[in-house]
Amino acid sequence: MTLLDRERLVTRTGVRLEVRAARPEDERALAAFFAKVTPEDMRFRFLSTLGTPGHDQLLALIETPSADGESLIAWGEDGAVAATAVLAGDETGERAEAAILLRGDLKGQGSAGPCWSGWSPRRGRGVMR
Nearest Cα neighbor of 20 from 84, 78, 77 is 84
At 39, which helix (H) or strand (E)?
helix 39-46
pLDDT above 70 for 118: no
Task: Give pLDDT tens digits for 62-98.
Answer: 776 666 778 889 999 999 999 888 887 777 777 777 7
**Three-state secondary-structure class, residue 28:** helix
Half-sphere exposure of 93 (CA within 13 A, CB side): 7
The size of the chain, in residues, is 129
Task: Give pLDDT tens digits for 48-64.
Answer: 666 677 788 887 777 76
Residue 32 has phi, psi (to 5 degrees) of -65, -40
According to the model, what pLDDT value does residue 29 have? 95
Band the pLDDT of 102: cuts 50, 70, 90: confident
User: The whole model's pTM is what?
Assistant: 0.74
